Amino acid sequence: MNNKKTIEHKAVVKNINDKQIEVLINQPSACAGCHAKNVCSVSGIKEKLICINEVKGDFHVGEHVNLVLKRSLGLQAVLLSYIIPVILFISSLIIFNTFQSNELITASFSILMLLPYFSIIYFFKNKLKEHFIFTIQKS
């Protein structure tokens, strides 16, 4: 049921509590499809455990499910985690470069400008968890 309004991943139910269900998704690395992955030490599959608090339906451990997220929320996640930090870094790099001629100091201050941003993101992580809600559906 993958349409243009949702992002779906195949997952397996790992654990069921009274309040939540934990599902495991396999996130293949960029080179997982390479023909030389068996002899390469870099390739691999990363597993991620996602907790879902609002569950509708009856699920059991080991069941294959679809993990669903609204596409608009996925785009917001990309904005918060990639686009805003890059814009912040490049703009601070330009600003510091106009006032400082030493490139090492300019780059260091630009990297340090990301610390407050990611500290704010970390501080509001519980609020973000409430906003970015995953749902599961039977496969």
What mean pLDDT value characterizes the chain? 81
- Is 131 part of any domain? yes
Q: CA 126 to CA 131: how far, in whole Å?
A: 9
> What local confidence, expressed as pLDDT, does residue 44 receive?
54
129: in domain: yes
Residue-number span of the structural domain to which 103 is assigned: 6-138
Q: Does 58 fall in a domain?
A: yes
Q: CB–CB of 75/131 below 8 Å?
A: no
Query: How many residues are there in the chain?
Result: 139
The answer to whether position 108 is within a domain reads yes
If one counts the domains in the chain, the total is: 1
Write out pLDDT tens, residues 12-60.
888 888 778 888 887 665 555 565 555 554 445 677 888 887 777 788 8
In a domain, 83, yes or no: yes
- For residue 1, pLDDT over 80 is answered with no
Asked, for residue 30, whether it belongs to a domain, the answer is: yes
Sorted by sequence, the CB contacts under 8 Å of residue 81 that are 6+ apart come out as: 121
- The reply to whether 1 falls in a domain is no
Residue 20, domain member (yes or no)? yes
CB atoms within 10 A of CB 103: 11
3-class state of residue 92 by DSSP:
helix
Task: State residue 110's pLDDT score.
Answer: 92
Q: State the Cα–Cα distance between residues 93 and 123, nearest whole angstrom.
A: 25
Quick one: CA torsion of 10, 16, 22, 23, rounded to 10 degrees? -10
